[in-house]
Structure 1
């Protein structure tokens, strides 16, 4: 496994075009591999995420079973003359192997928190986005047991009355990712599919602290992603040392 970081030159037209089209960016990411990486059900796969740290610092993170080549992204949306090559790739497998039970990490995750509902008896279920922080946080909490991690709880004197304040966790950066499968923009939206070729995804970003409860399960979850819409910038969790 590899973890790659690429910085967009947000002033370039090519960068702006990619950042406004999850479909185009997905295609650009997948074009980073000479041969299509495997996408087994539940196994390691290509994941990517955009971090908007500031107007001038927009980063792309990619995890993948094989090493990528982002030359085309550098030429289209980066700094072609910058040194070194325009992106950095790390040996992610070594990092994953070193994860141990009860270790605590700061984490960041962009995900598509959805649930299935049935509006009327007899109707098929429909996938719907969680719209409020309370239910978005509850969605992540439900991922803990099968994800091999636990969100760190605050000390009792630091808690508030609401459930979402019990944890070292913040949710924000909600945005609607909406596009047509042919690559054209479909405007802003939520999580349901609208029309034959229109796709709408509600993405939110989680930040906080977690404790590893089952290293083997957690490694697989980091490599395979959390939740839906993995092809469109959701599901990638990254870790950093707690400071």
Structure 2
């Protein structure tokens, strides 16, 4: 299976681009925008069917959208003057993964824990508890192990939560979405390349439809 990585540089003069990239509900709008680039007859879970993961990046020159998918997106479906875009296959990068290789990684994820029923009752906790600080870092360490990586360095940064209504009408308009987010960056050594390829393809953690879970990697400087 070929994975595709698309980089979209939104033109903020476009009202559509501004709506998709600003505010706590931007990721919900962006999810709908990006899913419109894929076939509509994909069954009950088209995001999973087409392996769609994305992340909104803040750069010195403005926002950029990273979109990963198992099907090449139809970029001509973006609104006119939405911005510039380019798609390339990830196959060369994934084929080059090998044990012992040091990589740089980046991932915006939604770290959580799910307390047991007894703990929830005792401390009056919700079914899913968002993690921050050291607890989030420990969560990422476990995710790294499960991704075939040995973390070497880590920098984590809390981000604003994604929140808003799941849809604009019908039952979805009454369903509220909220995902706390943390950005994880650092270096790691590859232990299991096959496991890493799987995690890159599937994504990490919750909130995948709303800009969480995309694991980006690149060879660390001096190891290419």
Query: Which TM-score bucket, shorter chain as reference?
Result: 0.7 to 0.9
In the alignment, the residues of structure 2 paired with residue 102 and residue 206 of structure 1 have an alpha-carbon distance, to the nearest angstrom, of: 21
In the alignment, the residues of structure 2 paired with residue 224 and residue 141 of structure 1 have an alpha-carbon distance, to the nearest angstrom, of: 18
Query: For the aligned residues, what is the CA RMSD?
Result: 2.7
In the alignment, the residues of structure 1 paired with residue 146 and residue 48 of structure 2 have an alpha-carbon distance, to the nearest angstrom, of: 12
Q: Could you list the per-position Cα deviations for residues 138-163 of structure 1 after superposition, in whole angstroms to 9, with x for gaps in the alignment?
A: 110011232111111xxxxxxxxxxx
Counterpart among 3, 6, 23 of residue 4 in structure 1: 6
Query: How far does residue 205 in structure 1 lie from its aligned partner after superposition?
Result: 0.8
Per the alignment, residue 120 of structure 2 pairs with 119
Kindly indicate whether the alpha-carbon contact (under 8 Å) linking 1:14 and 1:76 is maintained by their aligned counterparts in 2. no
Aligned residue pairs total 209
Matches within 5 A, 1:184-203: 196-203=174-181
Per the alignment, residue 219 of structure 2 pairs with 241
Per the alignment, residue 58 of structure 2 pairs with 52
Per the alignment, residue 105 of structure 1 pairs with 103
Kindly indicate whether the alpha-carbon contact (under 8 Å) linking 2:52 and 2:69 is maintained by their aligned counterparts in 1. yes
Matches within 5 A, 1:73-112: 73=78, 75=80, 77-78=82-83, 86-112=84-110
Matches within 5 A, 1:1-243: 1-19=3-21, 20=23, 21-35=26-40, 45-54=51-60, 56-73=61-78, 75=80, 77-78=82-83, 86-117=84-115, 118-121=119-122, 126-131=127-132, 133-152=133-152, 168-183=153-168, 196-243=174-221
* Secondary structure of the corresponding residue to residue 126 of structure 1: coil
Q: Which runs of 5+ in 1 are unaligned?
A: 79-85, 153-167, 185-194
Kindly indicate whether the alpha-carbon contact (under 8 Å) linking 1:5 and 1:62 is maintained by their aligned counterparts in 2. yes
Query: How far does residue 94 in structure 1 lie from its aligned partner after superposition?
Result: 2.9
In structure 2, the CA distance between the partners of 1:200 and 1:223, relative to structure 1 (3 Å rule), is: same
Kindly indicate whether the alpha-carbon contact (under 8 Å) linking 2:42 and 2:49 is maintained by their aligned counterparts in 1. no
Return the TM-score normalized by structure 1: 0.77
Which stretch shifts more, 35-44 or 201-210? 35-44
In the alignment, the residues of structure 1 paired with residue 85 and residue 109 of structure 2 have an alpha-carbon distance, to the nearest angstrom, of: 24
Kindly indicate whether the alpha-carbon contact (under 8 Å) linking 1:225 and 1:237 is maintained by their aligned counterparts in 2. yes
Kindly indicate whether the alpha-carbon contact (under 8 Å) linking 2:50 and 2:71 is maintained by their aligned counterparts in 1. no
In structure 2, the CA distance between the partners of 1:37 and 1:14, relative to structure 1 (3 Å rule), is: same
* Secondary structure of the corresponding residue to residue 204 of structure 2: coil
In structure 2, the CA distance between the partners of 1:24 and 1:208, relative to structure 1 (3 Å rule), is: same
Kindly indicate whether the alpha-carbon contact (under 8 Å) linking 1:8 and 1:59 is maintained by their aligned counterparts in 2. yes
Q: Which runs of 5+ in 2 are unaligned?
A: none
